[in-house]
Chains A and B, each alone.
Chain A
Amino acid sequence: MLTALWNNRIEVVAVILFAVGFSTLLLHRNLLKKVIGLNIMDTAAYLFLTSLGYIRDRLSPIITDGATDPEAYVNPLPAGLVLTGIVVSVSVTAVMLGLTLRLYKRYHTLNLDEIYRMTHEEQEAER
């Protein structure tokens, strides 16, 4: 078990990071920290994906001298997927930060419990 985990050490780190991000997203009441947790979670996924494409003793997939032997280069597909994924995560982060900014300007706190309480009182006032 331990040797298998050591062989997959990068994946292990990625998995731990993922869980850390996931629990930060759930655990923290501070909106900004939630956004950070989200970013950790995404980054872990990309780390995992990148590590899948690595092959020992091979070159990066840029053909310089016309050699097109598949045995010579690492797997190029994960790099492409990570590129796509990063853009998605940037977009999501921008939207989350926008939401955070709006909530902060309105309620002057980043604590979700407090914000929830205030909106709840707004709603009670509506009854």
Chain B
Amino acid sequence: MKKSFKDRLQAWDSGQFELGDALVRETDGRRPPEKEEDVSWAHVPVGRVSQVERRLFRVLYPVLAGLLALVMIAFLLFVVEQLPAFGDALSPANSSEVIKRYIASGLTETGAVNIVAGIILDYRAFDTLGESHVLFTAAIVVFILLLAETELPDKPSDRRILMDDLIFKKTAFFLSPFILLFGTYVILNGHLGPGGGFSGGALIGAGLILVSMAFGPRVSGRIVALKSYRRIVLVSLLFYSLAKGYSFFCGANGLHTIFRPGTPGRIFSAGLILPLNIAVGLVVACTMFGFYSLFTRESV
């Protein structure tokens, strides 16, 4: 049925017809009610709608995407070909004044034997401050996502990965204390050797996850009570922000901080780096374990 322009205008004026619809399809003047409630789609059989466009899209899309990937590889290879050679001591990145100072005076300026620790926790500490808050942000988002889940009740088997296996349990029993101990060592020696808060924290987190997988949350809760994970993260992050804020403020205003580099090589040296490593380690360990607990639906 074809309508004249005037009819359309009148229909639009009385709210039966939308300009947007004119470009898509015509409505028959009914106003279906709008619904806000959620429908669970668990019962809908898969693959009911198949449109020509959709099928065409399914064929074309992989082809186009594959082509894009090939073009991208070719382009990037041309770029890589012109980049400085691998392992070259004279390339801009490896011969700049930046690196020279990091190595030549890093030991005296930061007190850290591990230059990388000195860079990430002193020279470029603002990055690292942001980075530990990336973890915090992710933890909050995952918390929002997984916590108040109301739709479908889970079967108990979905909920926990409890490996009821003798070999696994025994291995975990003997291994986990060493993993936790090694993690602690890596954190505490972050300024003296390879390691630091991130790697040590990840180790401790893995150890806790192992314990929880093998013996259930009740046993891992005995190492540190589940409730206190969030507090540990918060206190560590607050300490981190405060300490670094103080250090940034002093640095920018030309003041000396109360933290001294100390004697390089000692455990209590390198100023703020050791406490910051501990804080970062706690944050990482607790967040990793928190992710695990959230994904396996134990409460944190």
Using a CB–CB distance below 8 Å, which chain A residues touch chain B? Answer: 1, 4-5, 7-12, 15-16, 18-20, 22-23, 26-27, 51-56, 58, 60-64, 66, 68-80, 83-84, 86-88, 90-92, 94-95, 97-99, 101-102, 105-109, 113-114, 117-118, 121-122, 125-127
Contact = CB atoms under 8 A, between A and B. Distances in A.
Contacts of B254: none
Q: How big is chain B's contact interface, by range?
A: 35 or more
A12 B194 CA distance: 28
9 contacts: A5-B80, A10-B86, A75-B94, A77-B93, A87-B198, A107-B41, A118-B41, A121-B44, A126-B36
Interface string B215-235: 000000000000000000000
Given A76-B102, A126-B34, 8 more contacts: A54-B87, A61-B116, A64-B113, A74-B94, A84-B120, A86-B198, A114-B46, A118-B41
Contacts of B119: 76-77, 80
Given A11-B80, A102-B146, A27 B115 contact: no
B131 interface: yes
A26 B120 contact: no
Contact of A106 (B40, B58, B72): B40
A98 B142 contact: yes
Contacts of A23: 65-66, 68-69, 72
B1 interface: no
Chain A CB within 10 Å — which of B40, B54, B87, B291 has the most?
Answer: B87
Contact of A20 (B69, B83, B142): B69
Q: Which 10 A-B pairs have the closest CB atoms?
A: A91-B138, A23-B69, A61-B115, A98-B145, A15-B76, A56-B87, A7-B85, A19-B73, A76-B115, A80-B120
Interface in B54-82: 54, 58, 61-62, 65-66, 68-70, 72-73, 76-77, 79-82
B59 to A, nearest CB: 12
Contacts of B295: 97-98, 101
Task: Tell me what chain B mostly uses at the interface: helix, strand, loop, or mixed.
Answer: helix
B250 interface: no
Contact of B99 (A26, A77, A114): A77
Contacts of A98: 141-142, 145-146, 294-295
Contacts of B294: 98
B174 to A, nearest CB: 28
Given A5-B80, A22-B72, A127 B46 contact: no
B6 interface: no
B277 interface: no
B134 A88 contact: yes
B158 to A, nearest CB: 9
B65 A27 contact: yes
